């Protein structure tokens, strides 16, 4: 079983749509949770950290369910520029604070 | 302020050769981590260094080694290159070794022929 699992997609949605991504993680000791965005052949860029209380940044909302070891990302009013791969990331839960990445969910927003 | 900088941008090597990749963290960041990303996968953790000491090692063979210098920059060395080492190598930095997010450089794209 992978440590972080995501649906690879692609999710193909029209502009203005709302889209949701989910991921699950296996290590209950993980303490930090993030969503990164990666454009084709570019480096991952931090989209947002994810907190237990849930957090929102403009059109983006992230939720964490520690009991179910489940993380979600909701994107409202999708823009063409949102087309990218979204990586679910958790820390390793050990002293190194290494990041463990899912394989990513690809989003395509069409005009 | 400059972000994480990596060099070279691209590199082509042949099997059996050795390669050194370089990384300069964001100014003030003391923790540097290295990741390998092959096509279609998320980045895989290789090493983490903090205050010049190795603080974490991923599931990579001993052909992979790294070090951190007093100015917090870092090098990743890979010996006896294999075709499977072809990947994007990413360096990430963070201020401390804690739960804060890591910030990535543009990466070095390594191709093995």
Model confidence pLDDT, tens digit, residues B29-75: 999 999 999 998 999 999 999 999 999 999 999 999 999 999 999 99
> Count of CB atoms within 10 A of residue A25's CB?
24
Q: What is the pLDDT of residue A86?
A: 98
A81 SS3 class: helix
Instruction: Quote the tokens at residue A29.
Output: 């000791």
**Which position has the token pair 């990430």?**
B92
Q: Cα–Cα distance between B37 and B42 in angstroms, integer?
A: 6
Q: Which helix (H) or strand (E) holds B15?
A: none
- For the stretch B66-83, pLDDT in tens is 999 999 999 999 999 999
Which residues from chain A sit within 8 angstroms of residue B26, using beta carbons?
A: none
DSSP E strands, chain B: 5-7, 10-13, 19-24, 31-37, 44-50, 53-57, 64-68, 74-78, 87-94, 103-104, 108-112
Instruction: Answer yes or no: do B42 and A91 touch at CB < 8 A.
Output: no
CB interface of A with B, residues 49-78, below 8 Å: 49
Q: What is the pLDDT of residue A93?
A: 75
Statement: residue A95 has pLDDT above 70: no
Contact assessment for residue B33 and residue B103, using Cβ atoms and an 8 Å cutoff:
no
Q: What is the pLDDT of residue B41?
A: 93
A84 touches chain B (CB under 8 A): no
**Which position has the token pair 């060099």?**
B7
- For the stretch A13-47, pLDDT in tens is 999 999 999 999 999 888 899 999 999 989 999 99
Could you give the count of Cα atoms lying within 13 Å of A2 in the half-sphere of its Cβ?
Answer: 17
């Amino acid at each position: 079983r992978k440590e972080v699992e995501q649906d690879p997609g692609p999710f193909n949605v029209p502009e203005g749509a709302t889209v949701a991504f989910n991921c699950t993680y296996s290590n209950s000791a993980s303490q930090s949770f993030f969503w990164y965005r990666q454009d084709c052949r570019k480096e991952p860029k931090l989209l947002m950290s994810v907190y237990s209380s849930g957090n929102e940044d403009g059109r983006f909302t992230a939720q964490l369910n520690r009991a179910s070891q489940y993380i979600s990302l909701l994107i409202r009013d999708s823009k063409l520029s949102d087309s990218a791969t979204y990586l679910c990331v958790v820390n390793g839960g050990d002293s190194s604070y290494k990041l463990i990445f899912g394989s990513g969910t690809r989003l395509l927003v069409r005009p | 302020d400059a972000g994480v900088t990596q060099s070279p941008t691209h590199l082509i090597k042949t099997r059996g050769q050795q390669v050194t990749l370089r990384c300069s963290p964001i100014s003030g960041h003391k923790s540097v981590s290295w990741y390998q990303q092959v096509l279609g996968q998320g980045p895989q953790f290789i090493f983490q260094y903090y205050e010049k000491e190795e603080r974490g090692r991923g599931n990579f063979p001993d052909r992979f080694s790294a070090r951190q210098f007093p100015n917090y920059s870092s090098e990743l060395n890979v010996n006896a290159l294999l075709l499977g080492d072809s990947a994007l190598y990413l360096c990430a930095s963070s201020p401390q070794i804690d739960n804060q997010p890591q910030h990535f450089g543009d990466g070095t794209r390594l191709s093995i022929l």
